[in-house]
Amino acid sequence: MRKLIKGIFLNPKADYSVEVWNNYYLLINNGKIEKIEKNIEINEIQFDVYYDFEDKIIIPGLIDLHTHIPQFRAVGIGKGELLEWLNDYIFPLEAKFSEKNFAVNSTELFFKHLISKGTTTAVMYSSPHKQACEIAFEIADESLVRSYIGLPLMDRNTPETLLQNTEQVIKDIFSIANKWHKKNKCEFVLTPRFALSCTEELLQKVGEIAVSEGFFVQTHLAENKKEVYEVNLQFSEIENYTSVYDKYNLLTSRTILAHCIYLNDEEIEKIRAKNCIIAHCPTSNKFLRSGIMKAKEYINYGLKVGLGTDVAGGYSLSMLNEGMEACEISKLLSVQNNESNDVLEAETVFCLSTIKAAEYLKISEDVGNFEIGKKFDAAVFELSEMYRTNELKDTELVRTLIYNIDNRTAKAVFIDGNLVYQQ
Ligand code: GUN
Ligand code: FE
């Protein structure tokens, strides 16, 4: 099957620049990009379907490095800071995922909305139930989204309804991973929820499995001041929060650490040296009054920073929105600290959500930008009618896309060349 696609393409590059291809044609053959051309005679090309997106913007499918499937229904509802918010709103909601129909309906809703925002790859938490995690994989697989999903591990400091038995949950990990890891586009992710929810026995086991099986690991790190204080009490013999994960061999280039707000210089250096991935979640950091992560400083220092929506700490599944929030918070931080105007720019956050995240997930041979031979994961957006797209300069196109706040929903989304969403 050959598809011909026309429009204005934004192509992110590894050096944080963005190429603009105005009125280009991409020929997709069996899901992969076969040709990228500006001037073609349509009648000289063989294709089965033609999509003319006119002056709409076509970007590589967006990559969300951190979000929570079961929390979608709590967007905007909960309040308070992290630990109270988890106890008062999130744990009760996640507990409902023990019921099969609720889990199926909520998970379907989540994926429908995720795709509608142009996200084609996501790293996610399920609820802590084996059944709900398997439901998440089934629905993810059907959706075609490149899905990295983990069962959050919680064998202490957890309400009875969600508390896991250490031995049983290790068995569950293998049972889920045997069925789903590397099946189609799914990957199983080891997910100690955060240090406070895990016994040392569990962390030890998870570290061993991470080394032996090579799974990605995801967790939360240094998100909230009270959380950090509690971790220091709970692991009083370990020097800092980052070292808790390091002690159990959980810090590698396959580790995604969400938040990373309250880190000292030693911890930052450790994360750099271990080549870990940081999921910056600025919307959630605002909503839960967690704090401000120094994203630009981390990037300048050589850390691998990507973006995560962290729903329902974050209140939107849109990665364009997350990028805009990252830019805005970076400005507030620089003015508060009386620093220069070295802030996150629209081009930077666009690259973080596409080509950079693909590099971190080691899938940049397949996706992340538009190149011949890569798979066609893409999202099509329409700018507000106040812009006449063809009159905008290249840099203005990227900015208007990121700040296109009144219209965050895609017009069309493709995964592996398949049209998976159309409005
Ligand atoms: N830390 C532990 N669990 C969670 C969660 O569900 N969301 C956020 N934002 N932080 C957490
Ligand atoms: Fe989170």
Mean pLDDT of 206-220: 98
286-296 burial string, b = 16+ CB within 10 Å, else e?
bbbebeebbbb
pLDDT bracket for residue 232 (50, 70, 90): very high
Backbone angles phi, psi at 255, to 5 degrees: -110, 130
Question: 221-225, 338-342, 379-383: which has the minimum mean pLDDT?
Answer: 338-342
* Separation of alpha carbons 137 and 31, rounded Å: 22
User: Would you tell me how many other CB atoms lie within 10 Å of the CB of residue 183?
Assistant: 13
pLDDT at 394 over 90: no
pLDDT, residue 299, reads 98
pLDDT, residue 387, reads 78
pLDDT, residue 370, reads 98
pLDDT at 11 over 90: yes
Please, are residues 180 and 137 in contact by the beta-carbon 8 Å criterion? yes
218 CA to centre of ligand 2 in angstroms: 10
399 CA to centre of ligand 1 in angstroms: 30
Question: Which of 423, 413, 405 lies closest to 377 in space, CA to CA?
Answer: 413
Nearest bound ligand to the CA of residue 224: 1
Q: Which of 68, 156, 286 for a ligand 1 pocket mutation test, highest count of atoms within 8 Å of Cβ? A: 68
pLDDT at 253 over 80: yes
Cβ-based burial of 113 (10 A; exposed 0-12, middle 13-18, buried ≥19): middle
Q: Is 253 helix (H, G, I), strand (E, B) or coil?
A: coil
pTM value is: 0.98
pLDDT, residue 291, reads 98
Residue 310 CA, closest ligand 1 atom number: 9
Nearest bound ligand to the CA of residue 221: 1
417 CA to centre of ligand 2 in angstroms: 30
Q: Which of 73, 84, 88, 90 for a ligand 1 pocket mutation test, highest count of atoms within 8 Å of Cβ? A: 90
- Closest residue to atom 5 of ligand 1, CA basis: 86
pLDDT bracket for residue 2 (50, 70, 90): very high
- Closest residue to atom 11 of ligand 1, CA basis: 220
Q: How many CA atoms lie within 13 A of 354 on its CB side?
A: 28
Longest dimension (CA), the chain: 72
Q: Is 359 helix (H, G, I), strand (E, B) or coil?
A: helix
pLDDT, residue 275, reads 98
pLDDT, residue 338, reads 84
327 CA to centre of ligand 2 in angstroms: 20
CATH of the domain spanning 62-360, picked from 3.90.320.10, 3.40.50.720, 3.30.1180.20, 3.20.20.140: 3.20.20.140
Give the residues surrounding ligand 1 with Cβ less than 6 Å away.
68, 82, 86, 90, 193-194, 220, 223, 284, 310, 313
CATH of the domain spanning 2-60+368-422, picked from 2.30.40.10, 2.60.120.590, 3.40.50.150, 3.40.50.1100: 2.30.40.10
Mean pLDDT of 345-372: 98
Residue 362 backbone zone (phi > 0: left; psi -120 to 50: alpha; other: beta): left
pLDDT, residue 18, reads 97
Which residues contact residue 229 at a Cβ distance below 8 angstroms, ignoring those fewer than 6 apart? none
Residue 152 CA, closest ligand 1 atom number: 3
Percentage of the residues of the chain whose pLDDT score is greater than 70: 100
Domain ranges of the chain: 2-60+368-422, 62-360
* Separation of alpha carbons 251 and 229, rounded Å: 21
Output the six-digit token pair for 187. Answer: 């990957």
* Separation of alpha carbons 181 and 211, rounded Å: 15
Output the six-digit token pair for 260. Answer: 């990373």
pLDDT of 80-131, one tens digit each? 999 999 999 999 999 999 999 999 999 999 999 999 999 999 999 999 999 9
220 CA to centre of ligand 1 in angstroms: 7
97 CA to centre of ligand 2 in angstroms: 17
Which residues contact residue 298 at a Cβ distance below 8 angstroms, ignoring those fewer than 6 apart? 260, 268, 278, 305
pLDDT at 223 over 90: yes
Angle 282-284-287 from CA coordinates, rounded to 5°? 115
Percentage of the residues of the chain whose pLDDT score is greater than 90: 94
Nearest bound ligand to the CA of residue 84: 1
pLDDT at 181 over 80: yes
* Average pLDDT score, the chain: 97
pLDDT, residue 395, reads 84
Question: Which of 97, 104, 140, 142 lies closest to 122 in space, CA to CA?
Answer: 140
Residue 197 CA, closest ligand 1 atom number: 2
pLDDT, residue 249, reads 98
Residues with CB under 5 A from ligand 2 (ion): 258, 310
* Separation of alpha carbons 423 and 416, rounded Å: 19
pLDDT at 374 over 90: yes
pLDDT at 69 over 80: yes
pLDDT of 399-413, one tens digit each? 999 999 989 999 999
75 CA to centre of ligand 2 in angstroms: 13
pLDDT, residue 259, reads 98
pLDDT, residue 327, reads 98
Q: For residue 136, what are the CA distances in angstroms to 94, 121, 141, 150, 310?
A: 13, 14, 8, 9, 17
pLDDT, residue 389, reads 73
pLDDT, residue 391, reads 80
77 CA to centre of ligand 1 in angstroms: 15
Mean pLDDT of 149-153: 99
